[in-house]
């Protein structure tokens, strides 16, 4: 039986062929070929599969069920089908910008259990920014959370946190609630009567190309 991969990279996509190609191309340029990269296509019909499948480890296409179910497909794949120690879920409008990027993400996942991407357009001048250096050990801490890049330790997903809540059918709530479960379980940040405080988020190595 083959050993678990150190990390699996999951890309969620739906009818954004050109953006997906840019992300996969950047991954191939900056990621070791041994790292499994798997695309989860939520029922798209724009030719993404034909263009991208030859470039990745696997291409999973299923019926359109929304972003939450699609991200859960990714979690299930790296929990059960191709077990990995860590998973990094990327949305298709990202690009990888630096060599060695994945080593930093792995360290951040190991240190915090769960880590998200802090978006570069977020302003640090307001009250939402809570400090931090944007490094794996000392990530930026914010009162808000993004879901376009989410890293997690698989063992904790399976034993403690669980999958994203499929009752969230739209975009923007499923990853926030999932992050709050990580915080409640003791993995970074805090929850106060005023809401989320100090969410650990890692800035660097990955950038977002377009807004949804």
pLDDT in tens, 127-153: 888 888 888 888 888 888 888 999 999
Q: How many domains does the chain have?
A: 1
Tell whether 1 is covered by a domain: no
Tell whether 3 is covered by a domain: no
119-to-3, 52, 196, 201 alpha-carbon distances in Å: 34, 26, 17, 9
Which residues, at least 6 apart from 9, have a Cβ–Cβ distance to it below 8 Å?
27, 31, 35, 36, 37, 38, 87, 88, 90, 102
Tell whether the torsion through CA atoms of 203, 209, 211 and 212 is positive or negative. negative
How confident is the model at residue 2, as a pLDDT? Answer: 56
How confident is the model at residue 194, as a pLDDT? Answer: 43
How confident is the model at residue 3, as a pLDDT? Answer: 73
Tell whether 108 is covered by a domain: yes
How confident is the model at residue 172, as a pLDDT? Answer: 64
Residue with tokens 């039986």: 1
Tell whether 204 is covered by a domain: yes
How confident is the model at residue 165, as a pLDDT? Answer: 94
Q: What's 43's domain CATH number?
A: 3.90.550.10
| pTM of the shown model | 0.90
Least Cα distance to 175 among 198, 156, 151, 159 occurs for: 151
How confident is the model at residue 211, as a pLDDT? Answer: 39
Angle at alpha carbon of residue 28, lines to 27 and 31, rounded to 5°: 65
Tell whether 65 is covered by a domain: yes
Tell whether 43 is covered by a domain: yes
Q: State the DSSP H helix or E strand holding residue 68, giving kind and residue range, or none if neither.
A: helix 67-76
Tell whether 81 is covered by a domain: yes
Per-residue pLDDT of the chain (212 residues; tens, 9 = 90+): 457 889 999 999 999 999 999 999 999 999 999 999 999 999 999 999 999 999 999 999 999 999 999 999 999 999 999 999 999 999 999 999 888 899 989 999 999 999 988 888 888 898 888 888 888 888 888 888 888 999 999 999 999 999 999 988 766 688 889 988 998 898 876 654 444 444 445 544 444 444 33
How confident is the model at residue 128, as a pLDDT? Answer: 84
Residues in the chain: 212
Q: Domain range for residue 115?
A: 8-208
- What are the phi and psi torsion angles at 32 (to 5°)? -65, 145
Least Cα distance to 85 among 159, 6, 182, 149 occurs for: 6
How confident is the model at residue 152, as a pLDDT? Answer: 95
């Amino acid at each position: 039986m083959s050993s678990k991969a150190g990390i699996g990279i999951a890309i969620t996509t739906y009818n954004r062929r050109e953006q997906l190609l840019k992300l996969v191309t950047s991954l191939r340029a900056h990621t070791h070929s041994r790292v499994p990269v798997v695309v989860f296509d939520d029922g798209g019909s724009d030719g993404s599969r034909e263009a991208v499948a030859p470039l990745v480890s696997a291409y999973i296409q299923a019926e359109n069920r929304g972003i939450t179910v699609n991200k859960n497909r990714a979690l299930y794949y790296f929990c059960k089908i191709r077990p990995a120690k860590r998973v990094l879920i990327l949305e298709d409008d990202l690009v990888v910008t630096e060599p060695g990027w994945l080593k930093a993400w792995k360290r951040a996942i190991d240190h915090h259990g769960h880590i998200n991407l802090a978006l570069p357009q977020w302003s640090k001048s307001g009250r939402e920014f809570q400090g931090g250096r944007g490094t794996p050990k000392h990530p930026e801490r914010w009162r808000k959370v993004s879901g376009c890049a989410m890293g997690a330790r698989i063992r904790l997903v399976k034993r403690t946190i669980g999958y994203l809540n499929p009752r969230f059918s739209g975009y923007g709530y499923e990853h926030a609630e999932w992050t709050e479960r990580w915080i409640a379980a003791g993995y970074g940040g805090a929850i106060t009567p005023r809401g989320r405080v100090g969410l650990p988020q890692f800035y660097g190595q990955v950038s977002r190309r377009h807004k949804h």
